[in-house]
Amino acid sequence: MAWIHLLAAGLFEIGWPVGFKLSQQPGYKAWGIVFAIGSMALSGWLLWLAQREIPIGTAYAVWTGIGGAGTFLIGVMFFGDALTLLRALGVLLIVGGVVTLKLSH
C-alpha cells in the first residue's frame, strides 16, 4: 500500500506547478492557486503515509522524480514547452533512476 500512496503522492506533486501555471492564465488565477494548494496538501499527506514503510531517501527521490517527469510531460503536451533530444534524455534518466530505486527496495 505504501507504494500506491507514493505513486499517488507523486501524481499530486504534478498538480501544484500545473496549478501555478494555470493561475497565470486569464480567468484561472484563483482556481489555479486553489488547485495548487490542494495538490500540495494531498501530495504531502500521501508522502507522509508512504514514508511509514518506505525509507525517506527512496520515497523522496521517487516522489520528486514522478513530479518532475510528469510536470515536464504536461508542459510539453499542454503548454508548448520544448521537447528536445537532451530534455527527453534527461527525463528518461529521471524515470530510470525512479525505476532503479523501486527495484532495489
Q: 59-103 pLDDT, tens per residue?
A: 999 999 999 999 999 999 999 999 999 999 999 999 999 889 888
Cell of 75: 508542459
Q: Identify the residue whose cell numbers are 504536461.
A: 74
pLDDT at site 38? 98
Q: Please state the pTM of the whole predicted model.
A: 0.89
Could you tell me where the beta strands, DSSP code E, fall in the chain? none
Distance of CA 94 to the CA centre of its chain: 12
Contact 68/94 with Cβ under 8 angstroms?
Answer: yes
Q: How far lies 23's CA from each of 36, 37, 66, in Å? A: 9, 12, 22
